[in-house]
Amino acid sequence: MMNTGIEPRWARIHRAWAVVPVLSAFLAGGLGIQSERVLAATLISRDQASQAVSIRNLSVKDGVVSGELVNNSSRTLRDVQLLIRYTWLWNHEMHPGADSPGDAVYYTVEGDMPPGGNKPFTYRPASPLPSRADGHFEVAASVAGFAEIIPQK
């Protein structure tokens, strides 16, 4: 079987965007090519995503973000995508500087997580965070998406 990079038909990918309408995409034999794989994407709210998978024991040291993902759902989850935000807070917000070093990245914690299971993660930025005297970073992580494995009937 050829690896097309597309999730098997028993997988559903969830993205946590609250204001985007529901989207479903199906890959099937449009050009006479039969495929045994189907990708279905469903957009859900952040609340729904956090009910399925949560983050605990989040810690940040020198820009490195570590924690543990917990599967709160009744299905196996795969490839949980995190949004990690490095928000720069100026010491004098009334007179901010011109160049904010704030950033945001998507990080995928690869692999399967069974129902009720957990999985540790560590994200290391490509380059160290700048050390500056005019402010500091506030770092946050949230679930941006995941694949939910749905058994075939």
pLDDT tens track for 112-133: 999 999 999 999 999 999 989 9
User: In this predicted structure, what is the pLDDT of residue 2?
Assistant: 44
Q: Please list the residues that pair with 124 across neighbouring strands.
A: none
Q: How far is CA 106 from CA 10, 76, 117, in A?
A: 25, 21, 22
Report CA 122 to chain centroid distance, whole Å: 13
Residue 107: burial class (beta carbons within 10 Å; 0-12, 13-18, 19+): middle
Task: List the CATH code of the domain at 11-149.
Answer: 2.70.50
Per-residue pLDDT band for 11 (boundaries 50, 70, 90) equals: low
Candidate from 41-50, 80-89, 97-106 with smallest mean pLDDT: 41-50
Q: How far is CA 107 from CA 41, 80, 123, 138, in A?
A: 19, 8, 7, 17
Per-residue pLDDT band for 151 (boundaries 50, 70, 90) equals: confident
Residue 20: burial class (beta carbons within 10 Å; 0-12, 13-18, 19+): exposed
Collapse the DSSP code of 97 into the 3-class scheme (helix H, G, I; strand E, B; otherwise coil) and give the result: coil
Residue in the block written with tokens 């694949």: 147
| DSSP 8-state assignment for residue 116 | T
Per-residue pLDDT band for 38 (boundaries 50, 70, 90) equals: low
Higher-confidence position of 86 and 49: 86
| Dist. CA 95–CA 135, nearest whole Å | 11
User: In this predicted structure, what is the pLDDT of residue 53?
Assistant: 95
Higher-confidence position of 16 and 31: 16
